[in-house]
Amino acid sequence: MPTTVADRPRKAAVVRPPAGQVAEMLLKAVEAGRSPLEFVSEPLKRLHTGKRILIIDDFEPTAKDVQSDLTRFFPASMGNAIEIESNPLNAVARMKVTKQAGRPYDAIILDLRMPGKNGDELLRDISKADLLCPVVIHSASHAKAIQCQLLPKIDELRTDEVEKRIAELGRLDAMLSDVKTPQGLKDLAKTLARKSDGVPARFVLKYGPGYSPELLSRSLEAVMVTGGETDWTGFQQAVAKFKPVLFDAGDRTEYIEELSEMTKFLAKKTRGLRRKVVAEVPDVMKTEAWRDFNKAFMEITSGNYSTEKLAEDKDDLGAARRHNLAGLFGWVGDTAKALTRSPDREGINPVFDGRSDLVKEIFSFKEMANKLAHMLYMPRCLKGETHVTDLHFFLECTRDFSRCDHRLSEEKLMIKSPEMLGQHVIEQPIMNALQAVKGRDGGKVEVVLDKRRVSELDYKSQQYFEKLGLKRDDYVAEVSVNDNGPGIAPENLERMFESGFTTRRGGTGFGLYFLKRYIGKLDGTCNVESEVGKGTRFHMYFRLAEPEK
């Protein structure tokens, strides 16, 4: 059984937001054939009834994803309409038509990075056309889900500010649940308008680990409550001065080649899977799922994500493509898995009967695409601020850490890390080790966290830390990931850090390549010991840092 460090504080329990409870009540009412309005308090009822919301996003999978999330909280049965505009150049004209027809939009969900016209530019056009309404801006260009008010001057975004503003939305939930009368809602709107400097906008990042449909719904609640009592002149001034804060992956940097290489790898795998499906299950080509998969295939193989295209600065097209990569990788994986789904969405499509190996391969393909999308966050972390963080925290945040046995030092071991890069680096060997023992009788993975003297390390690691100015008697932090899997053959051990090299079905060959590249950004290094038939030991060493005051 996994062990834990004594007396370490537990994570705070997650408080379920009222918006989530509202969604559940609405869905239960619809399923029971009863009016949803019976289940909601008057203030929340007004916020979730009769709203017309426009999603402006050039990338169709993202737009549909957002639309699906919002439908849970703003269902059509309560008179809501959630529409999509995929061409930002058409957005202003569309908004004018709806306003002239007497049914203007109550709120806008706006993508920040789009080819042709970015979200901040479009927001200014909307302001000039006198079409402003409450706005929620979302973006997939960031390393972490952040939510903040759109203030007149945004020059930098510190982590403490981010957490503070997320907490503000939590308090909004509590305030909304306490409102019982129309007058109470009006008073709350005035209070919120004062606290937000009269600016009815929120900034939500779509693909970070902290994103949830509840977060998006809470943001809409916030802007629609404040929107009724807003100083629109102040908002227009804020829009005019708005400067986006972006932590884009590879913004004219060395990382563009890596992103292109990952895309080429996935394109090659997609082409191979497509050929196999056509050869073995031709009937699937008649389905709508196949058409969706074909669209994803055409996009990933189109050549729009070469090094040159990703670096293109004309109309910021390169940034828009880099922005779309995580969503594109996820789209390819999702549409592949959808091929196996039966028409009634229950179980496996009958056309795959007797093709269990192919179904497993498709599921493995989806997992691989998701891993690649997740790896995009490693280079993005370098765009964020560097903080001193306890390695215990990174381990606790790592996926599947709870599935491992672990022996952790009770002493805090602090390292410097840009954003959550420490977590992304550490989780790679853990994921590999768990995969190595999967299905193996008695298979187990152990994670050890401790500190060691430089003199106790292997020769190359000693040299590395001596170049950083450490002495042989100085301590470094060590994270070891040990498994009793099949081990690694000597000829493969020499190649395991090569880009795209993998011996495992569903492997990407980029995890350890990225680890080797980015562990140096943490003042760290690594080595591997393995014996065929006995298992593998993966050691990571990090320079220790003093806690921040």
Residue 319 resides in a domain? yes
> Are 224 and 315 members of one domain?
no
**149, part of any domain:** yes
Number of other CB atoms surrounding residue 274 within 10 Å: 18
Tell me, what CATH number does 102's domain have?
3.40.50.2300
Distance of CA 545 to the CA centre of its chain: 28
Q: Does residue 112 sit in the same domain as residue 141?
A: yes
- Return the SS3 of 398: coil
pLDDT at 424: 87
Distance CA 239, CA 123 (A): 7
Please indicate, yes or no, whether residues 367 and 388 belong to a single structural domain of this protein. Answer: no
Which of the listed residues 323, 344, 378 is the one where a domain comes to its end? 378
State whether 36 and 177 are in the same domain: yes
Q: DSSP secondary structure string, 242-285?
A: -------TTTTSTHHHHHHHHHHHHHHHHHHHHHHHHHH-GGGG
The sign of the dihedral angle between the CA atoms of 427, 428, 434, 435 is positive
pLDDT, position 141? 41
User: Does residue 48 sit in the same domain as residue 145?
Assistant: yes
> Are 224 and 322 in a shared domain?
no
In which residue ranges of the chain is pLDDT below 70? 1-44, 61, 113, 115-116, 139-215, 218-219, 222-223, 225-254, 313-317, 319-320, 323, 344-345, 380, 383-384, 505-506, 549
**Closest C-alpha to 379, from 251, 544, 479:** 251
What pLDDT is stored for residue 491 in this prediction?
A: 86
Which residues lie below 8 Å from residue 432, measured CB to CB, with a gap of 6+?
A: 511, 512, 538
Answer for the pair 482, 508: CB distance below 8 angstroms, yes or no. Answer: no
Residue 477: inside a domain: yes
- Final residue before a domain boundary, out of 241, 272, 305: 241
For residue 5, tell me if it sits in a domain.
Answer: no
Q: Does a structural domain hold residue 259?
A: yes
The answer on 366 and 299 residing in a single domain is: yes
Q: What is the CATH number of the domain that holds 394?
A: 3.30.565.10
Looking at residue 329, what is its pLDDT?
Answer: 87
Per-residue confidence (pLDDT) for residue 307, from 0 to 100: 82
User: What DSSP letter does each residue of 100-121 carry, written as one string?
Assistant: HTT---SEEEEES--SSS-HHH
Q: Is residue 10 part of a domain?
A: no
What pLDDT does residue 512 have? 86
Whether 446 and 351 map to the same domain: the answer is no
* Residue 287 resides in a domain: yes
H-helix or E-strand spanning residue 425: helix 421-437
The answer, as to whether pTM is greater than 0.75, is no
For residues 393 and 513, state if they share a domain: yes
Tokens of residue 415, six digits: 């390292």
Do 201 and 319 share a domain, yes or no? Answer: no
Q: Considering only CA atoms, which of 90, 50, 82, 88 is closest in space to residue 66?
A: 82
Predicted local distance difference test score (pLDDT) of residue 518 = 87
Please state, in angstroms and rounded to a whole number, the distance separating the CA atoms of residues 113 and 249. Answer: 13
Quote the domain boundaries for residue 177: 18-241
pLDDT of res. 539: 96
Contact 542, 415 (CB under 8 A): yes
Is 536 inside any structural domain? yes
Residues 100 and 161 in one domain: yes
Q: Which domain-ending residue is among 310, 345, 378?
A: 378
Domain total in the chain? 3
Residues 396 and 493 in one domain: yes
